[in-house]
């Protein structure tokens, strides 16, 4: 998740002790296609990212998810903020979480279509304005959907009001996403129960992310 947050910030961010697993490498490849400059040091786990303030340099792209669930969630959310057309190829199976993310992003103004090409299923993202508004993720197993949506919510044109499941304890993914947003200077109004409000638009500040208790994607 820190990879996406840093890519959406303006300027140079760094990630230390990152785990560059297949999901992280898939995300890095796609972010580079979008125009983000990313330098990696596999041995030390250090990653340097130069972001463009939530605006992708390149549009009308085909991005390969390589059937990675976490990367697919983050790329889907990222493309919605791009105000261009994108195609996600080789997506994983449409889990409840990925379906919840599609539905929530659509509520907020995104154009997302499941399609099939000669080579297999694709997810099409249109160039509609990511306007903000009210949405919900009701499925308790959809923490990846909530986390991915939170990371791009500051890029919406208007405030995002998100209803989340009444978890007895917040899933780690959601807690980490909220901490990453705080690290980037993003304000989130949290009632500590089932409602999160992200005032928008907001700009993420470049910073250093220490992944000693996180991974770069999850």
pTM: 0.93
Each residue of 40-53: b (16+ CB within 10 Å) or e?
beeeebebebbbbe
Average pLDDT, the chain: 92
Confidence at residue 3, expressed as pLDDT on a 0 to 100 scale: 94
**CA–CA separation, 70 and 79 (whole Å):** 14
Query: What's the average model confidence in pLDDT over 100-108?
Result: 97
Confidence at residue 143, expressed as pLDDT on a 0 to 100 scale: 97
Residue 181, helix vs strand vs coil:
helix
CA contacts within 13 A on the Cβ side of 5: 31
Alpha helices (H) along 109-164: 143-152
Q: Which pLDDT band, with edges at 50, 70 and 90, does 216 fall under? A: very low
Q: Which pLDDT band, with edges at 50, 70 and 90, does 156 fall under? A: very high
- Dihedral sign for Cα 67, 73, 78, 83, please: positive
Confidence at residue 215, expressed as pLDDT on a 0 to 100 scale: 44
Confidence at residue 211, expressed as pLDDT on a 0 to 100 scale: 58
Chain centroid to Cα 41, Å, comes to 23
Confidence at residue 213, expressed as pLDDT on a 0 to 100 scale: 44
Q: Answer for the pair 70, 25: CB distance below 8 angstroms, yes or no.
A: no
Who wins on pLDDT, 215 or 78?
78
Query: What's the average model confidence in pLDDT over 6-22?
Result: 92
Query: What's the average model confidence in pLDDT over 125-139?
Result: 95
Q: Which residue has the tokens 């947003």?
A: 181
**CA–CA separation, 5 and 9 (whole Å):** 6
By percentage, how much of the chain surpasses pLDDT 90? 82
Structure tokens at 61: 């792209």
Confidence at residue 218, expressed as pLDDT on a 0 to 100 scale: 42
Q: Which pLDDT band, with edges at 50, 70 and 90, does 43 fall under? A: confident
Each residue of 193-202: b (16+ CB within 10 Å) or e?
eeebbbbbeb
**CA–CA separation, 193 and 165 (whole Å):** 8
Rg of the chain taking only CA atoms, in angstroms:
16
Q: Tell me the domains of the chain and their CATH numbers.
A: 2-210 (3.65.10.10)
Structure tokens at 95: 């889990």
Confidence at residue 217, expressed as pLDDT on a 0 to 100 scale: 47
Q: Which pLDDT band, with edges at 50, 70 and 90, does 116 fall under? A: confident
């Amino acid at each position: 998740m820190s990879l996406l947050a840093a890519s959406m910030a303006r300027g140079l961010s760094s990630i230390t002790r990152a785990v560059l697993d297949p999901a992280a490498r898939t995300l890095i490849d796609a972010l580079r296609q979008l125009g983000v400059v990313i330098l990696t040091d596999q041995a030390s786990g250090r990653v340097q990212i130069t972001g463009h303030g939530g605006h992708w340099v390149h549009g009308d792209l085909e991005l390969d998810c390589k059937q990675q669930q976490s990367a697919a969630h983050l790329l889907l959310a990222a493309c919605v903020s791009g105000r261009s057309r994108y195609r996600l190829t080789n997506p994983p199976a449409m889990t409840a979480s990925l379906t919840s993310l599609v539905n929530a992003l659509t509520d907020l103004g995104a154009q997302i279509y499941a399609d099939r090409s000669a080579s297999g299923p694709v997810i099409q993202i249109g160039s509609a304005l990511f306007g903000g508004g009210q949405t919900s993720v009701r499925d308790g197993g959809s923490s990846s959907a909530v986390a991915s949506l939170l990371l791009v919510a500051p890029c919406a044109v208007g405030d995002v009001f998100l209803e989340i499941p009444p978890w007895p304890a917040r899933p780690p993914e959601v807690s980490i996403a909220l901490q990453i947003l705080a690290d980037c200077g993003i304000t989130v109004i949290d009632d500590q129960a089932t409602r999160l409000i992200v005032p928008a638009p907001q700009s993420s500040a470049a910073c250093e992310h220490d992944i000693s208790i996180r991974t770069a994607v999850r």
